[in-house]
Amino acid sequence: MSKAYQPIKLPPKQMIGDQQMLEASVAFHDIMTSRRTIRNYKSDPVPANVICQCIETAGMAPSGANHQPWHFVAISNPSIKAQIREAAEKEEEKFYSGGAGDEWIAALEPMGTGPSKPHLTTAPWLIVVFAERFGLREDGSKFKNYYVPESVGIATGMLLTALHHAGLSTLTHTPNPMAFLTEICGQPKSNKPTMIITVGHQADEAEIPARALSKKPLPEILTFLK
Ligand SMILES: Cc1cc2nc3c(=O)[nH]c(=O)nc-3n(C[C@H](O)[C@H](O)[C@H](O)COP(=O)(O)O)c2cc1C
């Protein structure tokens, strides 16, 4: 066994009974079924410590070789949010006026989305998620990260779940292309922006596309091998 492997013995974990397991999974399912992607926000502030706590939860995600190839940039500064909105809307204009191609535009029609993105300045927080293509040692040399999209996707899912659990609404926004975020967020070129998570409280007049409520039934997403 390699010297790098240093095992830590865990204390025994009490087994949860089958009924309790089922009740816990049903209760969590009920919490998660009320999560919605929200595009209209109140401008009411959300404390920075709530955002930090949820990002800390995201940082508990599993990752390839535990390299944790993610970085989150949390922004409440109105002028930086305005800069992001301006750059994003410029890309969205090109995207919706032909750049995306007919099939993609048709797929988005039921979502009712367009080039205007007011949530980027109305909502109190934007969290930009970056994927670290490689890591840096203290001496500046690079090391490879593994399963980067998978790891960052899992961490982002945990972030969305933590924010929802805290009573907040979110929008997963992916302007295409989104390279402008690297510079605005002061990140090294090797960090690839993957998503903007808009965070805040749902506006009273918020509406969602009916299509978003349609989720595939279990038999369609699950194959049980017996
Ligand atoms: C990777 C990803 C990218 C998305 N990009 C956008 C986007 O750019 N703009 C937008 O309005 N919604 C975006 N969405 C939100 C989806 O439209 C939304 O999740 C879907 O319609 C289902 O709705 P729900 O999240 O309320 O269940 C994105 C979601 C994901 C997971």
User: What stretches of the chain show up as alpha helix (H) in DSSP?
Assistant: 18-33, 48-58, 78-94, 102-108, 119-122, 148-165, 180-184, 218-221
Q: What is the architecture of the domain spanning 57-190?
A: 3-Layer(aba) Sandwich (3.40)
Give residue 192's pLDDT: 97
Angle at 76 between CA 73 and CA 79, to 5 degrees: 105
- Percent with pLDDT over 70 in the chain: 100
Half-sphere exposure of 33 (CA within 13 A, CB side): 10
* Per-residue pLDDT tens digits for 50-85: 999 999 999 999 999 999 999 999 999 999 999 999
Query: Closest Cα to residue 149, out of 194, 211, 106?
Result: 194
Give the Å distance between the CA of 38 and the centre of ligand 1: 9
Distance between CA atoms of residues 212 and 60, nearest Å:
29
Give the containing element (helix H, strand E) for 198.
strand 191-200
Give the Å distance between the CA of 174 and the centre of ligand 1: 8
Domain boundaries, the chain: 57-190
Strand bridging mode 134-136 / 125-132:
unpaired
Residue nearest to atom 23 of ligand 1 (CA): 212
pLDDT tier, 199 (very low <50, low <70, confident <90, very high otherwise): very high
pLDDT tier, 1 (very low <50, low <70, confident <90, very high otherwise): confident
Tell whether ligand 1 has an atom less than 6 A from the beta carbon of residue 113: yes
Q: Is the dihedral of CA 213, 118, 121, 108 positive or negative?
A: positive
pLDDT at 41 over 80: yes
* Mutation to probe ligand 1, out of 172, 173, 194 (largest number of atoms < 8 A from CB): 172
Give residue 178's pLDDT: 97
Distance between CA atoms of residues 132 and 35, nearest Å:
28
pLDDT at 43 over 90: yes
* Per-residue pLDDT tens digits for 76-131: 999 999 999 999 999 999 999 999 999 999 999 999 999 999 999 999 999 999 99
| 201 token code pair | 């409280």
Tell whether ligand 1 has an atom less than 6 A from the beta carbon of residue 32: no
| 83 token code pair | 């800069």
* Per-residue pLDDT tens digits for 140-173: 999 999 999 999 999 999 999 999 999 999 999 9
Give the mean model confidence (pLDDT) for residues 33-58: 98
